[in-house]
Structure 1
């Protein structure tokens, strides 16, 4: 039993981050899926660099590879070839156990459908990542969770279950939850897809504030108007990042 525990501890010991790198660096990243119809190349040698504090919108048609791209960055999926560095860590080299630990400390993920646990209150949902990764003193966790809920404007909803919240309130709780462990990177996959225009705009404002505070934000969206409010737009087409022309348009 002790031997298995020591083996697990070794397997989750993360490499020391490399200093001086960009927040995100992808080099020649390919992703090939094997299906019943044969191989499908979702990413075709993608290179990408994102600096700390950037708010980047990832846009593209359905099936273009944009969700695969952010899954590589969040450690949800692995590249078939190429290197993925996030916050100075070579994510492509990590074991499954290491990735789970690394993601819990480094990446906050915001989903389109919120993914809040229905039997937990807003406060308990935000505390969950802290409990899972065993960060912050247990006495401090409720106070930190409440401060985060206040920061995103739903402190008065702390004791409510998700079913008693509006869609916008649920998304704000989800954003507070992804900030629970103070990750340097936030990845959001269509975070405004189920929100009305006014609430979606407020969520984008919040992302902008977080970027100005030093967080790196990577957001997939189909909404060009919302994408235009980011600091940079990355367009994915047929598994590749479209080149930018001298005038800022796409080639």
Structure 2
């Protein structure tokens, strides 16, 4: 699959993933930040497994390590100790260049504030990851982007700029963009934080449908009602996962 997506990158430049590995596996992951007041331990030996097709809510109070945990999984940050495996790839061993390539074809990220480029149309925003990673032929990209916009129910907005859409529509576009390169893993950081309850529920239902189709989804949320609609809830407290919640 990598050969099809990234012809300009030798396959040998990325480690071969382990077959039949969990979608996400963290082994004794520890993260320490140096501050003016000394060391701050954000993660304290996290062990976690997430199976393919699971829809997992990551919950906990602010400052307890949820975002740090997500940053480990997406390769945005590196562990101080321990191992991070995603779809059988040892993310903790990758170089910065390898991580950029790996993330582009493996992980879709959905943010609370959408982060759509305001000067591009909705269609162009969804095509952008394909352009960056050289995924699909250029002539195929508009059609795929339209298919993804149809999947999330906003294909009629394809030629508009993001500012002309409602918050719920913009979040649906952001989800379509996260799916552009058909990643096996979606990571959503408070994706419903700026949405009304009805729209938030619709986004969660869309995630449930994607998980039913085989996508693995990790979602950070403060909303307990929405978290209860996931397959599993993982609670992070003071840099640790509460006992019994880390195993599949």
Give the TM-score, by structure 1 length.
Answer: 0.93
The corresponding residue for 1:4 is none
- Structure 1 residue 20, shift from structure 2 partner: 1.7
Q: Deviations over 1:112-144 (max 9, x none)?
A: 000000000000000000000001010000000
- Structure 1 residue 179, shift from structure 2 partner: 0.1
The corresponding residue for 1:97 is 97
CA RMSD of aligned residues (A): 1.4
- The 3-state SS of whatever aligns with 1:33 is strand
In the alignment, structure 1 segments of 5+ residues that lack a partner are 1-7, 246-251
Q: Deviations over 1:19-63 (max 9, x none)?
A: 121000100000000011111000000000000000000000000
Give the TM-score, by structure 2 length.
Answer: 0.94
The corresponding residue for 2:108 is 108
Does the alignment pair 1:175 with 2:175? yes
Instruction: Report matched runs for 1:132-211 at 5 Å.
Output: 132-211=132-211
Show structure 1 runs of 4+ deviating over 4 A: 8-12
Instruction: Report matched runs for 1:35-54 at 5 Å.
Output: 35-54=35-54
CA–CA distance in structure 2, aligned partners of residues 9 and 230 of structure 1: 36
- Structure 1 residue 13, shift from structure 2 partner: 1.6
CA–CA distance in structure 2, aligned partners of residues 16 and 178 of structure 1: 23
Q: How many pairs does the alignment contain?
A: 238
In the alignment, structure 2 segments of 5+ residues that lack a partner are 1-7
